[in-house]
Amino acid sequence: ASEVKVNISSEHRSVLGLYVLFLLLPVPIFAIMGNLVIMAAVAHFRSLQTPTNAFVVSLAVTDFLVAVLVMPFSLGHSVDSWHFRRFFCRAHFLLDITFCTCSIFNLSCVALDRNNKRVAILLLLCWILPLVISSLCVYLGMYTQSPPAVVSSSKQDTQTCLAMFYVPNAFATSAISFFIPMGFMLFAYGKIFKAAQRQARWIHAIAYLERYSLKKERKAAKTLGLIIGVFLFCWLPFFCVTVVHSLKGYSVSPLVLEASMWLEYANSSLNPFLYALFNMNYRHVFAAMLDCGILRRPLRASLDSSLCGRQSVIIVY
């Protein structure tokens, strides 16, 4: 009787694993494809090689690395369990924190006014600081590889590889990696929105451009609202769960932990569309790529000349 029960449990687990696989597999696929397009576009068209787009490329590289080096192992862990040794759990944890924190820092820097010297410094900080943070987390042993507490399995060696934060570590890591950059991002985009409003009111003073100015203002509000809204939707649950899970007497279920983690990963799939498709220059490039025109020199030269003289910015009002 016990053997029949184990087999049924194993069969149900396999079916559930397939559902989870089909649900989560599009996340790394879209992240890889979308961020490759961003990198290819900037590499092929000189008109897109601006200081602003340096952070877009850095963000695309970061999100691409998350999709290639982190998500496959997390997907296997979510579908079944962790089948690798302790060293790989440590490496996975290091890469996960490094690239995800780097992604947040790049997102924050996109909103800055910048020159070439400042770009180089900020790019270095966007990569070095996350590496320092993740190295400290690994050094302090803030991860765990042990049998899962809730998910049952017929396998005796089933293991999990999860972050394990205590109160001081959870608050410090969440503040440095998310809450401080989030506050900075809200402040920076708030300044951008106010500047756009001032410009729209100035245009509004000209009678025949009244409708045009109102349309511009609404578009700016929608664009900024969507960018900030998606960022908070993807990242805020994970860091809230991390803080709550670290508190004594509170425990978050593995399902909630996994869901918040994949929401975080989903941001890497959405970034190419949010930060590029709002840009008219990128839309022209995407159209050329879809038309296989990127390999045709005349079309490439045509696009470069049509984009020349217009600085490629993230938000187009």
Q: For the chain, how many structural domains are there in total?
A: 1
Whole-number pLDDT of residue 214: 54
CA distance 61 to 237: 24
> Tokens in use for 265?
């990963």
Check which CATH number belongs to the domain holding 134 and give it.
Answer: 1.20.1070.10
| pLDDT score, position 317 | 31
CA neighbours closer than 13 Å in the CB half-sphere of residue 204: 11
- What pLDDT score was predicted for residue 107? 85
CA neighbor of 197 nearest in space, from 183, 214, 222: 214
Residues 83 and 72 sit within 8 Å (Cβ to Cβ): no
Q: Is residue 317 part of a domain?
A: no
- DSSP annotation of 144 reads E
Residue 9 lies in a domain: yes
Structure tokens of 115?
């020159």
Q: Tell whether 314 is covered by a domain.
A: no
Within a domain: 74: yes
Q: What is the pLDDT along the chain (317 residues), one digit of tens a residue?
A: 333 333 435 555 566 778 888 889 999 999 999 899 888 888 887 878 888 788 889 999 999 999 999 999 888 878 777 777 777 888 888 899 899 999 999 888 877 756 667 888 899 999 999 999 888 887 776 655 454 333 333 333 456 776 666 777 778 888 888 899 888 888 887 877 777 666 666 655 555 455 555 565 566 566 767 878 898 999 999 999 888 887 876 777 878 888 999 999 999 999 888 866 676 767 776 677 666 555 455 445 545 554 444 443 333 33
Beta bridge partners of 146: 160
Phi, psi of 115 (to 5 degrees): -120, 180
Domain of 174 in residue numbering reads as: 2-307
Q: What residues contact residue 259 under an 8 Å CB cut-off, 6+ apart? A: 237
pLDDT value, residue 15:
67
Residue 58 is assigned to a structural domain of this protein: yes
> 78-94 b/e with 16+ CB inside 10 Å = b?
bbbbbeeeeeebbebbb
Global confidence as pTM: 0.77
Copy the structure tokens of residue 97: 């924190």
Report, in angstroms and rounded to the nearest whole number, the Rg of the chain calculated over CA atoms: 22
CB-CB contact of 213 with 201 (8 Å) = yes
The residue type at 72: P
Report yes or no on 138 lying in a domain.
yes
* Structure confidence at residue 76 (pLDDT): 83
User: Counting every residue, how long is the chain?
Assistant: 317
Burial of residue 129 (number of CB atoms within 10 Å: 0-12, 13-18, 19+): middle
